[in-house]
Structure 1
Amino acid sequence: MDTLDARWAMLEPHTTVVGPDDDRPRPAVLLFHGCGGLRDHLPRYAEAAKAAGWRAFIVDSYGPRGWNRAFTLTTVCTGLVLRGYERAGDLLAAIHGISRRPDVDPTMLSLAGWSHGGWSIMEMMSEDPLPGRLGLANPGDCDLSGVKAVWLAYPYIGAWAFNRMKPWRHCPRVLAMTARRDHLTTVTNAERVNAMIRDCGSEVESWIAEGTHAFDEPTSNGPMRHHPELTLEALRRFTAFLRDVAPEA
């Protein structure tokens, strides 16, 4: 079983860093992809974070495991492997590793997750950090106090998300983006989950976007349809969210 350090050593070579060209400690946002893996929309969000004065870290959970897109579409996206509560160990390790970088302000971190990435964030926030949980020997050694905000982009809250109504142990500010025509959840279900997070003490802003699941990804597969105008609005809201969290970045 991995320690936090060992898991981060696995992930770090597959993590893309985007940010201002300096070495001073800056707020950092950690970006976690959906079940389809790294796609072209995440670099756009990373650049938006950079423009707001943040460092962005795009964390790839598949590259270190040697998984390609064809494999993950048929296994991760169908719930056969690496469910959110298993991938949550990657998130803890990334927080643990990135917060110790000299060019990062460890007191001003934000997490951003799309679909499966959002599910993983929610599992990490709700799980008791006992030894052996989330696939890590020492999950309790990760300090979450620096996590000030969470961006949830159409997070998966379907049948496999057993803990979607479990209270979070750390309750930062949240912007929850729900797709009106999401084939994986209803707006009612999403608002129930948002209300639970709010009841934990989080300030939760809910935005219902008039699109499908993954509307900001520049491809159209099955019931998912790319919506360029909504994508621009999502990027605008993401930037405004970060600037509101850290106005002096």
Structure 2
Amino acid sequence: MLRRIAGVTRSRSLAALCAWWFASAPALAAAEQPALVEFNSDDRQDTSLAGYLYRPAGPGPFPAVIALHGCSGLFSTESPKRLSARHDDWAQRLVRQGYVVFFPDSFRSRGVDNVCKTRPRPVSVGRRARDVQGAIAWLARQPFVDGQRLALLGWSHGATSVLLLADRRRPPGVEVRKAVAFYPGCQRFLADRSWRPRIPLTILIGAEDDWTPAEPCRRLAQRFPRMIDLVEYPGAFHGFDAPAQPLRPHTGLAFTASGTGEAHAGTEP
């Protein structure tokens, strides 16, 4: 069962939920391996970044999802040249629904692999927000992308960046219609009374998350009931959507709910 703030929704697959959050599109064949592209961040240095692009077959134009990795980066620990199973799994699901999926690599492009245990973090959510602005500009120039149908999707550190971006205005001719955040850190936005989402925002979080806890997100959703849809998964911890990751403790983390540096993460089927 899914626990939904302001209502109860019966169990759905994550793929069905994804199709529901975004506008409907025809089912297409699964994507091949992503294409590597280069684009510039919208930061002060116009930093050159790598991006990984999945796209459906055909000329388009297709709606696009800009997807932001978490603090452990974009790549698999077992195969450093491949995107992690979670990122590839979600990209394949979205492509089958008819979406271009673009992963900006905010870490390796700057010589960083992982920031989960680093304090202060060498790549902040603010810098990542600038990376997304650059990704939006790049996507808007591609003939196979519909610049009026963009969405944001992020996990953990990337999800916190999504919340930051939900409060920002877009350049003319570009429309980010929706944002989806898996287990973001909501506390900073709860404390910032000036923050408010300008686009519909869905937050998905495990009720037992002890890394980025659900309670601040609950309170944030209560503050903006018309703009934020909060879905809680009872019994689930951080990283619940990653394929085949047994629940286990992680230690030495830079930021956790308890302040002890320990939290749990793993799949919740």
Same fold (TM over 0.5): yes
Q: What is the alpha-carbon distance in structure 1 between the residues aligned to residue 207 and residue 87 of structure 2?
A: 21
Q: Which letter maps to 2:264?
A: M
Show the counterpart of 1:156: 185
Q: What SS does the aligned partner of 1:92 have?
A: helix
Equivalent runs, 1:27-176 vs 2, <5 Å: 27-38=63-74, 39-69=84-114, 72-75=115-118, 78-126=119-167, 142-143=171-172, 145-158=174-187, 165-168=193-196, 171-176=198-203
RMSD (CA atoms): 2.8
Q: What SS does the aligned partner of 1:205 have?
A: strand
Q: What is the alpha-carbon distance in structure 2 between the residues aligned to residue 18 and residue 3 of structure 1?
A: 19
Q: What SS does the aligned partner of 2:87 have?
A: helix
Deviations 1:172-217 (A, max 9, x none): 222210111111344331111223344xx52x32210121111223
Determine which of 228, 239, 264 is the counterpart of 1:214. 239
Aligned residues: 205
Task: Tell me by how many angstroms 1:221 deviates.
Answer: 4.5
Distance 1:175 1:97, change over 3 A: same
Provide structure 2 residue ranges, at least 5 long, that are not aligned to the other structure: 1-39, 75-83, 251-262
Q: What SS does the aligned partner of 1:73 have?
A: coil
Q: What SS does the aligned partner of 1:126 have?
A: coil
Native 8 Å contact 1:123 1:164 kept in 2: no
Q: What is the alpha-carbon distance in structure 2 between the residues aligned to residue 197 and residue 147 of structure 1?
A: 19
Q: What is the alpha-carbon distance in structure 1 between the residues aligned to residue 192 and residue 124 of structure 2?
A: 13
Q: What is the alpha-carbon distance in structure 1 between the residues aligned to residue 87 and residue 213 of structure 2?
A: 24
Q: What is the alpha-carbon distance in structure 2 between the residues aligned to residue 7 and residue 26 of structure 1?
A: 30
Q: What is the alpha-carbon distance in structure 2 between the residues aligned to residue 103 and residue 190 of structure 1?
A: 35
Deviations 1:206-239 (A, max 9, x none): 210121111223444423232251xxxxxxxxxx
Show the counterpart of 2:48: 10
Q: What SS does the aligned partner of 2:207 have?
A: strand
Q: Which letter maps to 1:149?
A: K
Provide structure 1 residue ranges, at least 5 long, that are not aligned to the other structure: 130-139, 230-249
Q: Which letter maps to 1:52?
A: Q
Distance 1:95 1:29, change over 3 A: same
Larger Rg: 2
Distance 1:79 1:209, change over 3 A: farther
Q: What is the alpha-carbon distance in structure 1 between the residues aligned to residue 198 and residue 62 of structure 2?
A: 22
Distance 1:6 1:84, change over 3 A: closer
Do residues 226 (structure 1) and 266 (structure 2) align? yes
Task: Tell me by how many angstroms 1:87 deviates.
Answer: 2.0
Determine which of 203, 223, 229 is the counterpart of 1:205. 229
Q: Which letter maps to 2:218?
A: E
Q: What is the alpha-carbon distance in structure 2 between the residues aligned to residue 195 and residue 144 of structure 1?
A: 32
- Once the two structures are aligned, what percentage of the paired residues are identical? 23
Q: What is the alpha-carbon distance in structure 2 between the residues aligned to residue 3 and residue 80 of structure 1?
A: 18
* 26-35 vs 95-104, which moves further: 95-104
Distance 1:66 1:44, change over 3 A: same
Q: Which letter maps to 2:93?
A: A
TM-score if structure 1 supplies the norm length?
A: 0.72
Native 8 Å contact 1:115 1:155 kept in 2: yes
Higher relative contact order, chain-length normalized (CA < 8 Å, sep 6+): 1
Q: What is the alpha-carbon distance in structure 1 between the residues aligned to residue 45 and residue 147 of structure 2?
A: 19
